């Protein structure tokens, strides 16, 4: 009986952990992408740039950020420093990053 109870408790904990991490993953996605692709190196951990050579992104309009990232990813302006940064981004990641930065203040 004890083993049965323990198994039930473990199963319940696993379910709770799964639900919690799914919810956190959606919320943290933008931040996780900003770290994964090193955006934080130049644009700061909170979307405020570390140096005045880089633009602040916090609180910027989502649609504007999406259009800028697509512009860089598509290499429309050869030689732009952002082209290499945006090159690996998929559309869904661009939208998530833009949404994330637009909500930082």
Neighbours of 19 (CB within 10 A): 10
Piece of 6-14, 20-28, 52-60 that binds ligand HEC (CB under 6 A): 52-60
Residue span 64-83 as binding mask against ligand HEC, x where in contact by CB under 6 A, dash where not? -x--xx----------xxx-
Read off φ and ψ for residue 27, nearest 5 degrees.
-65, -40
CB of 25 to ligand HEC, least distance (A): 19
Among 29, 32, 54, 95, binds ligand HEC (CB under 6 A): 54
Output 34-38 pairs: Cβ under 8 A, ≥24 positions apart: 34/97, 34/100, 34/101, 37/85, 37/88, 37/89, 37/93, 37/97, 38/85
When the beta carbons of 31 and 97 are compared against ligand HEC, the nearer one is 97
Q: Does residue number 43 form part of the binding site for ligand HEC (CB under 6 A)?
A: yes
When the beta carbons of 17 and 92 are compared against ligand HEC, the nearer one is 92
Q: Which residue is nearest to ligand HEC (CB)?
A: 39
Distance CA 98, CA 63 (A): 8
């Amino acid at each position: 009986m004890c083993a049965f109870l323990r198994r039930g408790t473990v199963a319940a904990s696993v379910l709770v952990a799964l639900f919690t991490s799914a919810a956190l993953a959606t919320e943290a996605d933008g931040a996780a992408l900003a770290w994964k692709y090193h955006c934080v190196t130049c644009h700061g951990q909170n979307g405020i740039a570390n140096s005045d050579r880089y633009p602040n992104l916090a609180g910027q309009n989502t649609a504007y950020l999406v259009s800028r990232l697509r512009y860089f990813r598509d290499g429309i302006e050869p030689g732009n420093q952002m082209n290499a940064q945006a090159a690996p981004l998929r559309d869904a990641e661009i939208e998530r990053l833009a949404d994330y930065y637009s909500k930082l203040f």
